[in-house]
Structure 1
């Protein structure tokens, strides 16, 4: 793991000791709404060839920042090594390793997380509950000439009380080999700056049920946490009482069979990518305001000017990726021999460092179609299950720094036991959590779905005995 050659990672007993306090959730929502008046990042669309500070002209081989830092948008030609698929697309090239980090402090109810009310230009609702630190190297080094990133000192690996420290991927369908250092550190409680607050982890997970409220990077970090639950979560109306027992096995389970299966899938589904100039992307066309696919599917690259408050700088311009539809992240769960299992897929994405990582049962980017007949069938299975089998159903945003209004419907659904299709595997949830100790094994969408699974339990009040009412059915895409 990153930065821990001579240090052991301290594992807390339980991050959550009781379910969410429903009386606090409205107060947290009001706090976020109050922040909207003084913290914002409002985007305005720009013509694609008129982005101050950027090289985005029609003849440019790539969209690059004048400083040579931050990120670029480059063209890629991708083909699978077996020759079955080939395509071209733009990708966000951000070689810097970002830092996604959350500070937690012990409390009577387990642990509380230090979150920030952060405004990003791509957020659908202005402000979301974001990690303590969410910054690229350029931002940490203040290449933008603006204010410093708060609380960086809490995550010095030489002095921090580290719970999680690993390197993880970002969306490999759009980002080219983007890596983030993911950290969770334990710290004494202190009075936070304006725009930050401590939120109990149980309450934060309960707020996952609110559309577009808990930031994608918060979910990505918490997905790496060593989740265990007290035995009391198996009683008093819990909808999946075997979850605490299954989680307890994460520290001692043998992940070698799963790792070997994933290695074989990487060999079977590997791909090759070469750089292509943006004007030469086959199947893509450029208009005055966007670079988009000729058939109108998937995503497009646009440009925005941002007016901001409560950020390191007050104005800037940048390209952004805008999906043309709503995506789906779906997770099928099942009781197999008294263990809660997740149906995971070996999910290939062209931008991943190692081609394939463990993904959720269904992973469909906005504007895209299912990547296989098996995934289409599994999507239909999840959507057709009765309401009482739906553990979680909310629309959650992707990060808003590079994505403009990118959202995925997140579903966690109990299903009957069935055979896993080729490229899929039933995994005890403890195995998936154990794999997250290592880098680049479980993708960002799967980490988000895993947190939604834990939130489906931790977000229930202790006294509830009837199923949680689900939102009205939404279209899948």
Structure 2
């Protein structure tokens, strides 16, 4: 039976979660099988372009893209060691429709609790992960597939069902999506909410604890939590001479987002990006075989197909293409204490599908095996950090509805004087308060930065 009441808000033990999660996993049969791309039911290869398309014309497409990025302020090379002007071509997911990632909040004994679900996605490395109350594309929640209705959707589509706590259009992975956005929304309700099978109320303490576990809290949950995770800046730890104390004081800093946005705007003004969609069959350095699409040197990612069976989803079986990265990535933020306040080194990040030239990203955001010649800035510092300097270190999965076994190691590393306070070109220092303010607005923090911010806030 599903839980109809939340656990005690002060409980931080994980056993009740694991028991509930295990019961749900054992109650439903899931099956994901890799199959050749030309055997995907309902998916077609356009004979003129080689693009992968759904027979309805909805959901998403896999096309080709050429990209040229130029940094006018860079004298030959950027701070990352990249040429001031660089071009490449790649496959990319085109999904212009805007989905909903929504978390429903209700107070029990004055404490806000979050309604989450155990959801299967075909690309999840462990099948089930903890998802938002609603995680649905527009094609799904308008029932193009003629499947079951999305539970709790009405709280996020019908005005007056609750109080919006956060609501913004946010970008998805720019390396793999072309300008993809989802609505990240949090709604607090006072209604009596019937708890369906596979759903459960979680306290903030439980969510903080679960974020320390590998591959449990999915990406869609992490991006929404960044805007609603309770992060009081006036707790007793604010007086501590510790990392938690420095983080508390960083959250209590005066609002300086105007200055931060001014620096980001200067970077974006000097950086240009030209993109052109091309037929998938014409992407150079990539090859299409019967079963998948790969880059000739084996780097970056592949495109493969899967057949899926899941009895608790809106439709019980389907096929689809997924992107599979070439290895585990690293997403990390380097921090420093300055006069007892924690500062975070962020990077203005431009990727193939970035919605608006550049967004604020983590210090490091890469797949190390792609960099055979030289490591990106700060990667060696992050990977060689001694244990006492690592404040957060957990492997989290990326969006299992489009990516197959995509994992990143999320790290928060505290550096010392070896990291200068003068930010390199293309980088900027920010407080935790800055990021919590920016995340409530569209198109400032990329999805990797939002997920990492949630991890950082869990340390409170």
TM-score for both structures, normalised by structure 1: 0.86
Matches within 5 A, 1:65-144: 65-81=54-70, 84-108=85-109, 110-144=111-145
In structure 1, which of residues 416, 429, 432 is the aligned counterpart of residue 435 of structure 2?
A: 432
Shift of 1:231: 1.0
Q: Classify the secondary structure of the residue corresponding to 1:261.
A: helix
Aligned to 1:379: 379
In structure 1, which of residues 35, 60, 68 is the aligned counterpart of residue 24 of structure 2?
A: 35
**Structure 2, unpaired ranges of 5+:** 1-7, 72-83
RMSD of the alignment, in Å? 2.2
From the superposition, tell whether residues 278 and 424 of structure 1 become closer, same or farther in structure 2 (CA, over 3 Å): same
Distance 2:28 2:70 in 1: 47
From the superposition, tell whether residues 430 and 291 of structure 1 become closer, same or farther in structure 2 (CA, over 3 Å): same
Distance 1:162 1:290 in 2: 43
Aligned to 1:400: 400
Query: Retained in 2: the 8 A contact 1:393–1:409?
Result: yes
Query: Retained in 1: the 8 A contact 2:204–2:229?
Result: no
Deviations 1:162-201 (A, max 9, x none): 1000110000110011011110111236341110000112
Distance 1:350 1:387 in 2: 34
Query: Retained in 1: the 8 A contact 2:104–2:188?
Result: yes
Matched, 1:242 2:246: yes
Query: Retained in 2: the 8 A contact 1:227–1:247?
Result: no
With 40-49 and 444-453 compared, the bigger mean Cα shift is at 40-49
In structure 2, which of residues 265, 268, 271 is the aligned counterpart of residue 266 of structure 1?
A: 268
Matched, 1:225 2:228: yes
What is the aligned length? 435
Query: Retained in 1: the 8 A contact 2:237–2:245?
Result: yes
Distance 1:244 1:109 in 2: 23
Aligned to 2:153: 152
Q: Classify the secondary structure of the residue corresponding to 1:240.
A: helix
With 266-275 and 301-310 compared, the bigger mean Cα shift is at 266-275
With 51-60 and 440-449 compared, the bigger mean Cα shift is at 51-60
Distance 2:394 2:9 in 1: 19
Shift of 1:281: 0.6
Matched, 1:416 2:416: yes
Q: Classify the secondary structure of the residue corresponding to 1:241.
A: helix
